[in-house]
Structure 1
Amino acid sequence: MKNSFLIAIAILTFLSDLVFASPFFSQRVPNPRSEDGSLSSSTIYNFFGRTVVQRCADNFRISSSKVVRSVSWWGKFKNNKAPKSIEFDVKIYGDKNGRPDNNKVLSSTNISFTQLTDTGQNFGGKSTGDDIYVFRANIPPVPIEAEKQFWFSVLGDSGEGNGSFGWRFIIDNRDISVSNVQDLNGDISGMNFDWKEQAFNNFSFVLDDKFISGLPLPDLVSEIPEIETFNKLNNLFSITFKTQKALLYNIETSSDLKKWSTSRQIRGTGNTVQFTDEREAIFKNQYFRVKLSE
Structure 2
Amino acid sequence: MRKLIGSPNATGGLEFTEAQIPKSLPNECLVRVTTFSMNRGEISFAQRNEYAGKSIGWDVAGTIEEAAIDGSGPQVGTKVVGFCTRMDGWAEYVAIPSNFLAPIPDGVSDDVAATLPVAALTALHCLEKGTRLLGSKVLCTGATGGVGLFAIQLAKLMGAEVIAQVRKPEQVDFVSSFGADNVIITSNGEAAKQFAPYRLIVDGVGGELLGNLTKFVAKGGTIVTYGSTGGDETTLSTSSMHMNGGQHTLYGLALYTEVEFETASSGLTRLLKLVEQGKLKTHIGREGTWEEAGKIAAEFLQRKFTGKAVIRVLDSK
TM-score norm. by structure 1 comes to 0.23
Radius of gyration: which is bigger?
1
Higher RCO (CA 8 Å, separation ≥ 6 residues): 1
Higher helix share: 2
Higher strand share: 1
